[in-house]
């Protein structure tokens, strides 16, 4: 559950992103000027209107500022903001920077891989940007009840690997709008293939889930079905009617998982690539370090483990 | 049934992708990029909008808190408890059977809103009597920020998510066919006591509509017999009371007497919620004043001559020139006004034989010679005494309503009229005007005009005439004395001395104890008198059998004693005795 402070921060961020003007009068009161679309009414067309909102975030503050509107989790006004922001942030194209410092980077790698060969660090590394497709999905677990979760995987467009909680890893990273102009690793997966992999991943999540929600729904379904049967077991009842109602019950209780895309990002993350001398004289072993994902791969060869 | 019990694979979760990958790719190719901050915020908003499971907290309270605060609306504890129980324990299928005036519509509105906020209901159909469609729409929009579409004419049932329709419209063949093909997340049926017979089109329509959640609203789920209760509950949840054979064997002594009441009560309480007036649900007091008036000599003459005519015709029985129901109406009309009586006399004169026509015409002439009625003088006095207070005047008869309106107009008192013939939009407009415009102090309502309408912004009522059925009188008062009424309610009963009205009011006050708000007793009385000899016809019988005032008094005392005996007898079959 959000605290009042978290609610306020969310509102302020929303106002900033939308470019709406606002003023924090004090700790408790936030004034905001927002543009509202008034729907068409009879012969009046739709129009935009500016409204001033006086927002408070605790009931105590509401008592101090009469006429203010209380914004709390579940309130109409918070939902209004949540609905309003749905028009923004649907697609993004970003690249991320990384400040390379040899010693620091080496230390980071050694923390992830203590047994790393030291000869990787004898030469200066190269740098490239690796493309990722990051997506936020809501998964709705539906029977006659509903539970939802947000899933935020990222797909490595080169290796096809899915990184769970992708955006958590990037939350504090400095993002720069637009794709890099050079040094981009060639992606091996098309967008169609990438989506297919992401959707497989979503299905794996669903399959791995504790099946209790399904079992409970099935129990409720069978209880209802048994009750229905009691009524229809008399001779003169219409069996087609029974079938129809039984199907109705099944529709009500059957488990479904509905996946809906929230938003999508094409993101380019920096990679630091080390190579070491090859003992056989053939292919040089490479080590790829993704500093934002805190991931090391490809030790001894170019291909991912 | 075996074929419907599911295997593991039949009941394993089905994965559905709601967003088309093609659309996603198109979106990327359009390159409508947004900032990183907006992107993260959008995801944050999505996570804050998630529904993470049922708990005891209702979303509707927080969501509508501001709206209700501004409207001065506070849901009652019993309403919140009902909503929680329906959504939780009863899994969204319930009969809301609160007593009249305790806010069933509010409870239903809360349930509808709660399900929409929880993402569990999108396509919703509300079936009501035609006269209540607009009221439902107004309540849902004002109190719950729900904006339904009213179905009428050639309606596109597939297109709209939240629809209010009259049962009469929905059961028409062309609409029924379409509705039965659709799937509703939630179906709400108001005045569901009309759904007690499976052979009716109403019952069959409601039964065939495919729905996930289902609410039936009625203040009188049990009126006459247990089979009707079985039918109603089986409509909601077939099998709740078993098969009819099982039910009859285990729970019916006869159609009006239950057996194994404890077990039956337990079964009923799993699908029905009934809140009643009591210490936990308080309404402001109602104050009732009897206003006797002495009629003019001509009014007395008219009353006596009409009563004699009615009595004579009634006693002729099959040989009577006039239908008994018409005679009953005429007797009630002459207590209301000379104008109402004149209307019926005029119609009778056109159909009567020569002998009767002469009598009727002479009555018409007498009635026509009365330009004013004494009752209106009393109304003038009451209105003067009340000052700027808004008042509702109830009358059974249109002619009386028109007279009251004209008389008030002559006195410079603007009044509005409200009756069953008005269109829905005109009714809305009139009520809105009465509520908001201080210039209109008086609303003159007929019985059918007042049906189901909520007028609790007003607290004063004048019963210009008295319906002979105490339930109808209680229903009138229920328009203003109901949940939402914050002030004491005042009821003025106008009673013409020396008429049946005087006796009737005495009966209602002393025997039925009507105004003490014992709804259960009213139910008992009406149920006991049954269909053949209704309460009205018993009163008529008492009047017709008497030759003198003394005899009439005696006859009505006998009726009164009968009422008392029924009230004191073991409880008749009502839902309250079962629950």
- Distance between CA atoms of residues A253 and A246, nearest Å: 11
- Evaluate if residue B520 carries a pLDDT over 60: no
- Evaluate if residue B224 carries a pLDDT over 60: yes
What is the rounded average pLDDT of the residues A96-120? 88
Q: Identify the pLDDT of residue B567.
A: 66
Q: How confident is the model at residue B278 (pLDDT cuts 50, 70, 90)?
A: confident
**Which contacts qualify for A126-129: CB closer than 8 Å, 24 or more apart?**
A126/A272, A126/A273, A127/A100, A127/A183, A127/A270, A127/A271, A127/A272, A127/A273, A128/A183, A128/A184, A128/A185, A128/A270, A128/A271, A128/A273, A129/A95, A129/A180, A129/A183, A129/A184, A129/A185, A129/A268, A129/A269, A129/A270, A129/A271
Q: How far is B435 from chain A (nearest CA, A)?
A: 23
- Distance between CA atoms of residues A257 and A263, nearest Å: 18
Q: Identify the pLDDT of residue B254.
A: 82
- Evaluate if residue A301 carries a pLDDT over 60: no
Q: Encode pLDDT of B360-370 as tens digits.
A: 888 988 888 88
Q: Identify the pLDDT of residue B1.
A: 47
CB contact under 8 A, B48 and A2: yes
CB contact under 8 A, A248 and B51: no
Show residues of chain A in contact with B208, CB under 8 Å. 244
What is the rounded average pLDDT of the residues B430-455? 83
Residue B4 near chain A (CB below 8 Å): yes
Give percent above pLDDT 90 in chain B: 43
Q: Identify the pLDDT of residue B412.
A: 92
Q: How confident is the model at residue B424 (pLDDT cuts 50, 70, 90)?
A: low
Neighbours of B362 (CB within 10 A): 13
What residue in A sits closest to B239 (Cα-Cα)? A231
Q: How confident is the model at residue B532 (pLDDT cuts 50, 70, 90)?
A: very low
Q: How confident is the model at residue B157 (pLDDT cuts 50, 70, 90)?
A: very high
Chain B interface mutation, best of A68, A263, A269, highest count of B Cβ atoms under 10 Å: A263
B402/B578: higher pLDDT: B402
- Evaluate if residue B321 carries a pLDDT over 90: no
Residue B439 near chain A (CB below 8 Å): no
- Distance between CA atoms of residues A140 and B120, nearest Å: 11
Q: Identify the pLDDT of residue B514.
A: 60
A84/B505: higher pLDDT: A84
Tell me the residues of chain B between 125 and 164 that have a Cβ less than 8 Å away from chain A: 145
- Evaluate if residue B2 carries a pLDDT over 60: no
Which of B33, B50, B91 is facing A93, going by the closest CB pair?
Answer: B33
Q: Identify the pLDDT of residue B372.
A: 83
Show residues of chain A in contact with B53, CB under 8 Å. 145, 147
What residue in B sits closest to A243 (Cα-Cα)? B4
CB contact under 8 A, B239 and A171: no
- Evaluate if residue A302 carries a pLDDT over 50: no
Show residues of chain B in contact with A202, CB under 8 Å. 15, 17
Q: Identify the pLDDT of residue B213.
A: 96
What is the reported pTM? 0.76
What residue in B sits closest to A17 (Cα-Cα)? B38
Q: Identify the pLDDT of residue A303.
A: 37
Residue B415, Cβ density class (10 Å: 0-12 exposed, 13-18 middle, ≥19 buried): buried
- Evaluate if residue B279 carries a pLDDT over 90: no
Q: Encode pLDDT of B50-91 as tens digits.
A: 987 766 678 999 899 888 877 777 788 899 999 999 998 999
Cα-Cα-Cα-Cα dihedral of A273, A278, A284, A285, to 10°?
-60
What residue in B sits closest to A173 (Cα-Cα)? B36
* C-alpha gyration radius of chain A: 27
What is the rounded average pLDDT of the residues B229-257? 91
CB contact under 8 A, A85 and B45: yes
Q: Identify the pLDDT of residue B348.
A: 86
- Evaluate if residue B29 carries a pLDDT over 50: yes
Establish, for the pair of chains A and B, how many residue pairs have beta carbons separated by less than 8 Å: 228
Q: Identify the pLDDT of residue B511.
A: 66
Show residues of chain A in contact with B19, CB under 8 Å. 259-261
Q: Encode pLDDT of B461-478 as tens digits.
A: 999 998 887 767 777 887
Q: Encode pLDDT of A229-284 as tens digits.
A: 988 887 677 788 888 889 889 989 999 999 999 999 999 999 999 988 777 767 77
Asked whether A136 and A151 are in contact (CB, 8 A), the reply is yes
Instruction: Provide the H-helix boundaries in B369-499.
Output: 374-386, 398-410, 424-436, 470-478
CB contact under 8 A, A257 and B19: no
Q: How confident is the model at residue B561 (pLDDT cuts 50, 70, 90)?
A: confident
B64 Cβ neighbours under 8 A, 6+ residues apart? A76, B113, B143, B144, B145
Q: Encode pLDDT of A168-208 as tens digits.
A: 999 888 899 999 999 999 999 999 999 999 999 999 999 99
What residue in A sits closest to B70 (Cα-Cα)? A67
Q: Identify the pLDDT of residue B379.
A: 94
Residue B20 near chain A (CB below 8 Å): no
Mean pLDDT over all residues of chain B? Answer: 86
Q: How confident is the model at residue B449 (pLDDT cuts 50, 70, 90)?
A: low
Judged by average pLDDT, the poorest of A77-86, A138-147, B1-10, B167-176 is B1-10
What residue in B sits closest to A136 (Cα-Cα)? B43
Show residues of chain B in contact with A245, CB under 8 Å. 238
Show residues of chain A in contact with B17, CB under 8 Å. 199, 202, 259
The answer, yes or no, to whether ipTM is higher than 0.90 is: yes
Q: Identify the pLDDT of residue B481.
A: 82
Residue B11 near chain A (CB below 8 Å): yes
A44/B337: higher pLDDT: B337
Show residues of chain A in contact with B243, CB under 8 Å. 230-234
Residue B44 near chain A (CB below 8 Å): yes
CB contact under 8 A, A149 and B50: yes
Residue B32 near chain A (CB below 8 Å): yes
Q: Identify the pLDDT of residue B526.
A: 61
CB contact under 8 A, A248 and B246: no
What is the rounded average pLDDT of the residues B29-34? 91
Place of tokens 């297109």: B159
Q: How far is B385 from chain A (nearest CA, A)?
A: 38
Q: How far is B220 from chain A (nearest CA, A)?
A: 24
Chain CA centroid to CA B117, Å: 29
E strand map for chain A: 21-24, 30-38, 47-56, 69-70, 91-96, 126-142, 146-151, 154-156, 162-163, 175-177, 256-275, 286-290, 295-297
What is the rounded average pLDDT of the residues B128-146? 89
Cα-Cα-Cα-Cα dihedral of B371, B376, B380, B381, to 10°?
120
- Distance between CA atoms of residues B367 and A299, nearest Å: 112
Q: Identify the pLDDT of residue A173.
A: 87
Q: Identify the pLDDT of residue B356.
A: 81
Q: Identify the pLDDT of residue B10.
A: 76
Mean pLDDT over all residues of chain A? Answer: 89
Work out the angle at residue B318's Cα, subtended by the Cα atoms of residues B317 and B322, and round it to the nearest 5 degrees.
Answer: 75
CB contact under 8 A, B212 and A221: no
Neighbours of A106 (CB within 10 A): 18
């Amino acid at each position: 559950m959000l605290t009042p402070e978290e609610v306020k921060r969310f509102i302020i961020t929303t106002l900033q992103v939308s470019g709406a003007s606002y003023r924090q009068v004090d700790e408790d009161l936030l004034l905001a000027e927002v543009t509202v679309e008034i729907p068409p009414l009879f012969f009046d067309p739709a129009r935009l209107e500016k409204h001033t909102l006086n927002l408070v975030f605790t009931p105590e503050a509401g008592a101090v500022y009469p006429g203010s509107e209380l914004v709390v989790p579940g309130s109409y006004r918070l939902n209004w903001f949540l609905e309003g922001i749905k028009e923004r942030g649907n697609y993004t194209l970003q690249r991320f920077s990384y400040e390379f410092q040899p010693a620091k980077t080496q230390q980071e790698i050694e923390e992830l891989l203590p047994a790393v060969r030291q000869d990787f660090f004898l030469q200066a590394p190269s740098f490239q940007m690796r493309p990722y497709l990051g997506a936020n999905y809501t998964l709705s677990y539906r029977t006659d009840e509903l539970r939802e979760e947000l899933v935020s995987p990222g797909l490595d467009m080169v290796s096809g690997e899915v990184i769970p909680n992708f955006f958590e890893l990037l939350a504090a990273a400095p993002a720069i709008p637009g794709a890099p102009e050079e040094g981009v690793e060639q992606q091996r997966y098309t967008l169609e293939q990438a989506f297919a992999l992401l959707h497989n991943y979503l299905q794996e999540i669903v399959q791995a889930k504790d099946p209790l929600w399904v079992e409970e729904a099935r129990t409720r379904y069978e209880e209802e079905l048994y009750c229905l049967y009691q009524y229809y077991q008399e001779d003169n009842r219409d069996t087609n009617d029974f079938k129809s109602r039984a199907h109705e019950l099944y529709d009500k209780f059957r488990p479904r998982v509905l996946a809906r895309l929230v938003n999508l990002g094409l993101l380019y993350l920096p990679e630091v690539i080390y190579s070491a001398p090859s003992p056989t004289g053939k292919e040089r072993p490479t080590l790829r370090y993704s500093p934002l994902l805190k991931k090391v791969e490809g030790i001894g060869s170019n291909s991912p483990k | 049934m075996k074929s419907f019990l599911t295997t593991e694979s039949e009941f394993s979760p089905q994965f559905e992708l709601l967003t088309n990958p093609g659309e996603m790719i198109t979106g990327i190719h359009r390159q409508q990029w947004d900032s990183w901050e907006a992107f993260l915020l959008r995801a944050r908003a999505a996570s804050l909008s998630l529904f993470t499971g049922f708990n005891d907290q209702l979303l509707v309270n927080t969501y509508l808190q501001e709206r209700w605060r501004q409207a001065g609306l506070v849901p009652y504890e019993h309403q919140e408890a009902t909503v929680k129980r329906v959504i939780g324990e009863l899994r969204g299928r319930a009969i809301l059977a609160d007593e009249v005036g305790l806010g069933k519509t509010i409870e239903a509105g809360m349930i509808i809103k709660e399900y929409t906020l929880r993402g569990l209901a999108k396509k919703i159909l509300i079936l009501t009597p035609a006269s209540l469609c607009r009221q439902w729409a107004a309540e849902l929009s004002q109190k719950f920020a729900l904006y339904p579409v009213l179905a009428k004419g050639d309606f596109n049932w597939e297109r709209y998510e939240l629809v209010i329709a009259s049962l009469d419209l929905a059961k028409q063949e062309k609409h029924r066919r379409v509705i039965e093909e659709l799937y509703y997340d939630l179906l709400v049926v108001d005045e569901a006591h009309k759904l007690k017979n499976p052979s009716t089109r109403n019952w069959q329509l409601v039964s065939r509509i495919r729905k996930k959640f289902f609410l039936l609203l009625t203040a009188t789920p049990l009126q006459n017999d247990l089979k009707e209760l079985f039918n109603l509950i089986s409509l909601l949840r077939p099998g709740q009371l078993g098969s009819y054979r099982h039910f009859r064997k285990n729970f019916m002594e006869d159609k009006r007497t239950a057996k194994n009441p404890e077990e039956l009560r337990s079964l009923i309480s799993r699908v029905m919620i009934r809140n009643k007036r009591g210490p936990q649900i308080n309404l402001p007091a109602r104050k009732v004043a009897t206003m006797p008036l002495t009629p003019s000599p001509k009014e007395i003459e008219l009353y006596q001559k009409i009563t004699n005519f009615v009595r004579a015709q009634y006693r002729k029985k099959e040989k009577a020139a006039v239908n008994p129901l018409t005679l009953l109406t005429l007797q009630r009309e002459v207590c209301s006004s000379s104008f109402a009586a004149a209307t019926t006399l005029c119609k009778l004169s056109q159909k009567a034989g020569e002998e009767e026509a002469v009598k009727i015409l002479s009555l018409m002439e007498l009635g026509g010679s009365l330009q004013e009625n004494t009752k209106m003088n009393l109304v003038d006095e009451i209105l003067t005494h009340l000052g700027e207070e808004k008042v509702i005047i109830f009358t059974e008869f249109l002619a009386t309503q028109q007279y009251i309106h004209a008389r008030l107009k002559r006195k410079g008192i603007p009044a509005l009229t409200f009756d069953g013939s008005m269109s829905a939009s005109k009714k809305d407009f009139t009520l809105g005007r009465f509520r908001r415009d201080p210039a209109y102090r008086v609303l003159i309502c007929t019985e059918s005009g007042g049906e189901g309408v909520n007028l609790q912004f007003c607290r004063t009522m004048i019963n210009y005439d008295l319906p002979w059925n105490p339930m109808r009188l209680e229903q009138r008062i229920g328009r203003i004395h109901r949940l939402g009424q914050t002030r004491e309610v005042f009821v003025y009963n106008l009673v013409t001395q020396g008429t049946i009205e005087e006796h009737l009011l005495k009966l209602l006050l002393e025997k039925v104890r009507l105004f003490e708000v014992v709804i259960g007793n009213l139910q008992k009385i009406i149920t006991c008198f049954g269909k053949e000899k209704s309460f009205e016809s018993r009163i008529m019988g008492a009047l017709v059998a008497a030759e003198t005032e003394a005899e009439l008094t005696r006859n009505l005392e006998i009726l009164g004693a009968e009422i008392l005996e029924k009230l004191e007898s073991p409880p008749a079959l009502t839902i309250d005795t079962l629950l």
